[in-house]
Structure 1
Amino acid sequence: MNFELQHLRTFVAVAEAGSVTGAAKRLYLSPPAVSAHIQKLEDELQVPLFVRTSQGMEVTAQGQVLRAKAEQALQAAQNVVRQAAELQSEIRGRVTFGINASPQVLRLAPIIQHLHTEYPGIDLALVHSATGKILEALRSGTLDIGFVFGPVTDRVLVAHRLGMIDLVIAVPQRFASQVPQVDWAAMAKLPWLYSDGYCPFQDMIDTCFAARGLRAQRVVETNDEATKCDLVRAGIGLALLDREEANALAAAGAAVIREPEPMPCDLSLVYAAQRADDPLIQAIAGTVCLVWAP
């Protein structure tokens, strides 16, 4: 069976107009062309679609059944065309996204949910790393966009400040008795967990120790904040963490919190300035800023 959609359109038009002439006017075809379409369709379907009357063309009982199916087929074809047009304008592509903290701290769940709903064509690849590594990767183009802590002054980058996070010192439970209160000298004797590469957290801790003529003992460096939390839980070393992460460790009995002084730190979303007009970047940045809006 090999009939065209145009034949179905002609069939429906004749049924609606009640005559070949009326359908021809609607379709901008000649009456003989309309008649040829109907004849071709009846031959293919082997079903009489119309009977001629003094008033025009009357749809047969079989034709009424097939008319409904023809209308459905034409609507389906329209939907295919519309969907194709939408796909041409849909934002599609892969985005590598630098992540420097836990999903809870960064509000990743609502961000990803919104992206999945509004931009299903975006394929998101999350890359866990430290702030310094993320900044380097954004400059080199190996990352598309990312979260970073601390100020961003590089002119080749665009930074959207999302808010401020509150930092505290998480002391593993096994060291709690050695640091019953804030004691920098006591903490300097204990092992510390640092990030691999630049991270403003380290600068803050190093500055606090240096002001007292002390230095922290680094035992492990990692790019992953989740790993850092796991190492605190395992009693490996102290770490400067976001308050939410530290509270979770304290609630589980894995650590105690020490707060020597307020330690706020900026959290920003950053991407290369040359990518500012990229629809993929705009979609991600718009979503993140929406979720983080006060």
Structure 2
Amino acid sequence: AKAVHDAAKALKGEITGKVRVGTSSDPGFIRVGEFLNTQIKRHPLLHVELHQEVTGAAFAKVLDGELDASFYYGDLDHPAIDRLWLRASTYRVAAPATWSDRVLNASWNELALQPWIITPSISSHYKLIRTLFDKHGIEPSEMIEADQESVIANLVVSGVGISLIREDLALEKEASGVMCLREDVRVESTLWFIYPLARKDDPVILTLLTVLRDIWMLPVQ
């Protein structure tokens, strides 16, 4: 009976099928739970597959069609990709709380002597931290790679090294006494929802964009 009911709804023009959406390692920040819950309630015949991806990999997969759309951090300018702005985000230079004496008032040359925790080069986080190094003319003597920002935050708290941490997370850790933050650096980034420009009028993509605009209370463009 359910199959007949679903078929009838599909014939009425309701959105059906499957859509593959890339997500990040922090589902709370991108509000993926609200997104999926609202999507299911409004369009129960459209099955959303979530794929956690590093930012650069997500971009490449949207470009080549492996993903239909994705959440994406960082700068973006590609003629084949369209985007919806979701929110701005700020990153802070963070270190273990026990390192405050050697980090908070240190010169950038002194900071370069400390271990830094970075993500793989395909990640937007890597680009942010690389821009910071280039701006101050430093190249840390020791860099430790971690594949997710949540892992980086844990490593900083554990005393492994310094890194860029998203400000909302960094302030929580600072308030709990496990992380210290430099006051002189704030690095800005952006959270987007990206999809192929060629599919900007695709009913499935338009459905996702409508849900996101409602969740984030964004104006219709």
TM-score using structure 1 length: 0.64
Does 2:196 correspond to 1:260? no
- The root-mean-square deviation of aligned C-alpha atoms, in Å, is 2.6
Whole-angstrom CA distance in 2 between matches of 1:100 and 1:82: 35
1:221 maps to what in 2? Answer: 146
1:206 maps to what in 2? Answer: 130
Whole-angstrom CA distance in 1 between matches of 2:4 and 2:73: 46
Residue 125 to residue 247, structure 1, CA distance change in 2 (3 Å): farther
Whole-angstrom CA distance in 2 between matches of 1:95 and 1:81: 22
Which amino acid is the alignment partner of residue 127 of structure 2? D
Which amino acid is the alignment partner of residue 20 of structure 2? T
Say which structure is richer in strand.
2
- Paired positions, count: 216
Whole-angstrom CA distance in 2 between matches of 1:94 and 1:229: 34
Pairs within 5 Å for 1:225-244: 225-244=149-168
Pairs within 5 Å for 1:147-226: 147-181=71-105, 183-216=107-140, 217-222=142-147, 224-226=148-150
Identity within the alignment, %: 24
Does 2:148 correspond to 1:250? no
Whole-angstrom CA distance in 1 between matches of 2:149 and 2:18: 24
Preserved CA contact (<8 Å) 2:109 2:138: yes
CA-to-partner distance for each residue in 1:39-76, whole Å, 9 max, x for gaps?
A: xxxxxxxxxxxxxxxxxxxxxxxxxxxxxxxxxxxxxx
Say which structure is richer in helix.
1
Residue 156 of structure 1 deviates from its aligned partner by 0.8
Residue 182 of structure 1 deviates from its aligned partner by 5.8
Which amino acid is the alignment partner of residue 276 of structure 1? K
Q: 1:86 aligns with which of 3, 6, 9?
A: 9
1:37 maps to what in 2? Answer: none
SS at match of 1:262: strand
- What residue ranges of structure 2 are gaps of 5+ in the alignment? none
Tell me: higher relative CO, structure 1 or 2? Use CA pairs within 8 A at least 6 residues apart.
2
Residue 119 to residue 252, structure 1, CA distance change in 2 (3 Å): farther
1:28 maps to what in 2? Answer: none
